[in-house]
Every structure is written in structure tokens, then in C-alpha cells.
Chain A
């Protein structure tokens, strides 16, 4: 299961994490986000070196705004509290792995 983070828990779960964190910005009405979810769930289970969390952009519009999310699905990688890369749109599994590994 991918943990959902909020504005209140973002600092602790993402910015202060020891491990790199992959943040999945998504919404319930976004079809490509629903398509991506099973793949991310699986990757979250398989990968020990990254943590995967999700942000619902409708409930957490402050976070979406703060990180300039303007199209979803949007995956943002945070390392040491900073954004290091982002991937926009639905991608097949091999490309996601490539993106996560940098």
C-alpha cells in the first residue's frame, strides 16, 4: 500500500526522509492516474531503496500549487528534501524504473 501524505505530514514523510521519496501527485477523476496505480503499488513493494507516497491534488491543492504541478499523473523524486527530477504522464513500467533509478 502506498501511503497518502498531506500538507501536514509532507515535511516528515517526504522532506526529512533518509531515503529518496517518489511522490505520486494524482486525483480520483484522473484515468491515467488510476492506470498507473497498480504499477506503482508493485514497485513500492519491490524497491527497498525508495519510498513511494501519494498526494491527492484535490484534497491537498496547496502541495500541488507549491510544487507547480500542472498535469497529472506527475511523479516527483525528492532526495535530501529537494526535488531532483519529475516525470509527467503515464509511462510503462520499464520507463518508470529508469526514472526512479535516475
Chain B
């Protein structure tokens, strides 16, 4: 039996592991993919205190090594279910292969890119459809691209692509942007950027790889096809699909406040998977510290 089982080895889960180990609790971290979480996708982080220039991979590796050196155990299995034991004093966390028992559980499962939800979207990932302009943009040098979305990520993606690609369409379902005005203005200066407003992407045209997108104007119902080689989808993020038995908000994010407590005593939520305003490394790390401290306090109350 472990004191604390942490689900997810992203920045929140790893920070929770550091705090829990420093409180001398035994810690198991379950991770579905690899340590580090989403941040491994970015080549540079510039807003984490005391680390003005670090790659996501380096950041993730440092935090992981710190947690491991302190004695956290890591198992690469996907958590599928959490059940309270019969006497109520512990939880069983089930993965596809095993079952682990812990006195407290911290869910730090993060968030994932929201998909458009079009039928052939999945099979076109890596064949023209991407969710990360800074990761895949370089492959579209001199090509025709589109960005779907209207928030800051979409606008920044478009600006990044405007330097590389021959053409960048910005397909947004409203006529105004939620993102920063300075970015919108910068985009308006670019001759290769075209705004396609009040419209959404309704079809992905492909012949083995993406050849174009169909956009539909929501006011007129009119459709047209834009010939593009790449579509960058930046329509936000959604909580990782966890299906655990804890209360969530309508948004799907776990209903837990700044104290990281869920509606189930003994189960805590930390990082991007929790309902909150700012989803960043520094807030994920902060949640990790709070959740671990709360979990330690909860374990003490069991006696």
C-alpha cells in the first residue's frame, strides 16, 4: 500500500510527487505515456520563474529527475478507475494490467487538444492535420495552410505560420477575436494572411493526405473549399478523458477549488484537469504542492 498515488506525470503530478516525498510519504506515479506531460511539445519556455530559457523536454526531465531522486516510484500504465476500499481507509486504482492501493489519490491527468470532431480527422493527423504550429509548422514552408480557431493560440499560430507559409487562412466561427488585439493587428498587416470569419471547417478533403478544407459560412450557409496542405487546429483544450468517479463542472474539468479537494475526501485534483482560470506550468506546479500538502493532511486525519 502506498501513501499517495498520483495519476499523471506532468508538471502537476511531478511537483506533487516532490512535495509528498519531502513529507516522507511513499509515492506511486502512474503515467499513461511518458513523464513531462504537454510541455514536452514546446521547444522553449520563457515564463517560468528562474528559468528564462529552457526547452520543454529539459524542463520535464529536470522535474522528473528531481522526483525520482527523492524516491517516487513510476509505473507506465494508464489509470482507468478509482474505487474506495470497503473499510473506507484507502483507494484502489485500477490500470489495464494491475491494481494499486493508496491512502490518498491525486488526479493530475492534464488536458488535451480539442478536436474538430470530423470523421477523417484522426487519420489525417501527421498527414496535414496538426494541433501544434510550433511543432509542425516547419513542414509547411512555402505551402498553403489554414488555422482553425480565434483565441490567442490560434492567432499566434497564424502569425508563426505567416513567416513560413505561402498562405495562411484563419477560419473563425465568429466575426471578432477573443485573442489579443495587437496580434490581430499584426496579422492584418500580413499580405499572405486571409480572414475567413463567421465560418467553421465542415469537411476535410483528402487524398491520402490533406488537400483542402470545406468551410461553411454560418450566416449564409454557403460552403466553399480552400485548397490547403496543412490545417492547424487551435480551438482550445479539453480535460483528459478520465471517467473517474469525481465531480466535474459542465466544462468537464474536475470540480475542485484552490485547495485541490474534489467532492470525494481523499481524492485531490491538481493542474490542468482542475477547473481554473490560468492553465500554465507555474499554476500546475502550485497545484501539485497544494494537493500533496492536502493529501498529507488527509492521511494524518485517518489515524
A31 interfacial contact with B, CB 8 Å: yes
Interface residue from B57, B76, B125, B140 paired with A31 (Cβ < 8 Å): B57
Q: Considering the chains assembled together, what is the distance between the CA atoms of A55 and B154 in angstroms? A: 30
Q: How many residues of B contact A (CB 8 A)?
A: 25
Interface residue from B43, B57, B76, B130 paired with A71 (Cβ < 8 Å): B130
A74 interfacial contact with B, CB 8 Å: yes
Interface residue from B32, B40, B136, B230 paired with A35 (Cβ < 8 Å): B40
Q: How many residues of A contact B (CB 8 A)?
A: 20
- Which stretch of A11-19, A45-53, A87-95 is in the interface? A87-95
Cβ–Cβ contact B43 & A74, under 8 A: no
B25 to chain A: closest CB distance in Å? 27
Q: Which residues of A contact B43 (CB under 8 A)?
A: 29-31
**Contact A69 B125, CB 8 Å, known A29-B43, A90-B33:** no
A32 interfacial contact with B, CB 8 Å: yes
Cβ–Cβ contact A70 & B140, under 8 A: yes
A34 interfacial contact with B, CB 8 Å: yes
**Which residues of A, 41-92, contact B by the 8 Å Cβ criterion?**
64, 68-72, 74, 86, 88-92
**Contact A71 B41, CB 8 Å, known A31-B56, A35-B57:** no
Q: Considering the chains assembled together, what is the distance between the CA atoms of A82 and B44 in angstroms? A: 36
Cβ–Cβ contact A71 & B36, under 8 A: no
Q: Dominant SS at the A interface?
A: loop
B120 interfacial contact with A, CB 8 Å: no
Q: Considering the chains assembled together, what is the distance between the CA atoms of A47 and B130 in angstroms? A: 31
- Tell me the nearest residue of chain B to A71, going by C-beta: B126
A16 to chain B: closest CB distance in Å? 25
Cβ–Cβ contact B209 & A32, under 8 A: no
Q: Which residues of A contact B230 (CB under 8 A)?
A: 70
Q: Which residues of B contact A64 (CB under 8 A)?
A: 139
- Tell me the nearest residue of chain B to A36, going by C-beta: B34
A62 to chain B: closest CB distance in Å? 13
Cβ–Cβ contact A71 & B40, under 8 A: no
B55 interfacial contact with A, CB 8 Å: yes
Cβ–Cβ contact B139 & A69, under 8 A: yes
Q: Considering the chains assembled together, what is the distance between the CA atoms of A64 and B39 in angstroms? A: 25
Cβ–Cβ contact B136 & A71, under 8 A: yes
Q: Considering the chains assembled together, what is the distance between the CA atoms of A88 and B128 in angstroms? A: 12
Q: Which residues of B contact A86 (CB under 8 A)?
A: 126
Q: Considering the chains assembled together, what is the distance between the CA atoms of A29 and B57 in angstroms? A: 9
Q: Which residues of A contact B135 (CB under 8 A)?
A: 30, 32, 71-72
- Report which B residues bind A (CB closer than 8 A): 32-34, 36, 39-43, 55-57, 60, 76, 125-128, 130, 135-136, 139-140, 209, 230
- Report which A residues bind B (CB closer than 8 A): 29-32, 34-35, 64, 68-72, 74, 86, 88-93
A-B CB contact pairs (8 Å), 30 listed = A29-B43, A29-B55, A31-B39, A31-B40, A31-B42, A31-B43, A31-B57, A31-B60, A32-B40, A35-B34, A35-B36, A35-B40, A35-B57, A35-B60, A68-B127, A68-B209, A70-B126, A70-B130, A70-B136, A70-B139, A71-B125, A71-B126, A71-B136, A71-B139, A72-B135, A88-B127, A89-B125, A91-B33, A92-B76, A93-B76
